């Protein structure tokens, strides 16, 4: 349910901002970009119906995606720099959060080496990152799934971002920004959700409130409103 108005509530500070990477910070999902170039095209389209229906996990889908990927780290870096893109305003959100004393954590089902590359190019390599990893080579790709996601979640039946947020939560309000399937479960513990693409569609289906966004300038504006004591309302 898209938030269409703002109503007053008590002011809040500081905040914990958890931000997804692929398709959220980046304009294009780097996993799809890599598989389309160095793996088998179309595999995600084949897997997505089962993934959305819960018949396979995100980890199983990723393993199948990257089973056919053969590329060196240098080839991956060149591809990501050329095609992933960065959603406008992310650096502004980081700067605003740091000035205001908020904590911002990048949380991704994707790969640390790719995330570090993109953030490093932006001068944001100091940000905390929670993610998986991929070891790329011309002989094949090995996925290394993070241990930072805790035990299996009782809601989504997998090790998800919800645990990572809870481990970093210190009583402050949580703002989550995301776009996809891996963001569904964790969005349920956020005080305010910014959503686009698949996450927004799913939240609509669930009848849950969120603020839609196309760039991070809109997120900054929404965070400012939240700080000022305004909350999204249907």
pLDDT at 77: 98
Query: What fold characterizes domain 5-233?
Result: Rossmann fold (3.40.50)
Q: What is the DSSP string of 77-128?
A: HHHHHHHT-B-TTHHHHHHHHHHHT-EEEEEEEEEHHHHHHHHHHTT-TTSE
Give the position of tokens 């590359």: 117
Cα separation, 226 vs 230, whole angstroms: 5
pTM for this predicted structure: 0.89
Higher pLDDT, 64 or 83: 83
Helix (H, G, I), strand (E, B) or coil at 48: helix
**pLDDT, tens digit (0-9, with 9 covering 90-100), for 42-67:** 888 899 899 888 898 888 989 999 99
What's the mean per-residue pLDDT of the chain? 89
Quick one: DSSP state of residue 70?
Answer: -
Q: What contacts 85, CB < 8 A, 6 or more positions away?
A: 26, 27, 28
- 139 burial (CB, 10 Å; 0-12 / 13-18 / 19+) is exposed
Backbone angles phi, psi at 130, to 5 degrees: -115, 120
- Of 137, 94, 149, 139, give the one whose Cα is nearest residue 113: 137
Q: What contacts 202, CB < 8 A, 6 or more positions away?
A: 181, 184
- The domain segmentation of the chain, as residue ranges, is 5-233
**pLDDT, tens digit (0-9, with 9 covering 90-100), for 174-189:** 999 999 999 999 999 9
């Amino acid at each position: 349910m898209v938030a269409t108005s703002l109503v007053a509530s008590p002011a809040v500070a500081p905040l914990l901002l958890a931000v997804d990477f692929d398709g959220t910070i980046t304009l294009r999902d780097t996993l799809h970009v890599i598989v389309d170039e160095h793996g088998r095209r179309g595999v995600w389209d084949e897997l997505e119906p089962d993934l959305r229906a819960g018949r396979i996990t995100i980890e199983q889908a990723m393993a199948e995606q990257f089973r056919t990927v053969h590329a060196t780290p240098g080839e991956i870096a060149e591809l990501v720099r050329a095609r992933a893109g960065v959603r406008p305003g992310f650096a502004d959100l980081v700067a605003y959060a740091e000035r205001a004393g908020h904590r911002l954590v990048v949380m991704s089902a994707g790969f640390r080496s790719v995330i570090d590359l993109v953030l490093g190019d932006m001068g944001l390599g100091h940000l905390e990152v929670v993610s998986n990893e991929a070891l790329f080579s011309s002989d094949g790709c090995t996925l290394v799934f993070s241990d930072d996601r805790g035990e299996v979640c009782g809601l989504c039946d997998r090790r998800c971002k919800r645990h990572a947020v809870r481990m970093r939560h210190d009583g402050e309000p949580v703002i989550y920004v995301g776009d996809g399937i891996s963001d569904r479960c964790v969005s349920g513990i956020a005080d305010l959700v910014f959503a686009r693409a698949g996450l927004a569609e799913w939240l609509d289906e669930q009848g849950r409130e969120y603020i839609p966004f196309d760039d991070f300038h809109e997120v900054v504006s929404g965070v400012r409103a939240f700080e000022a004591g305004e909350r999204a309302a249907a």
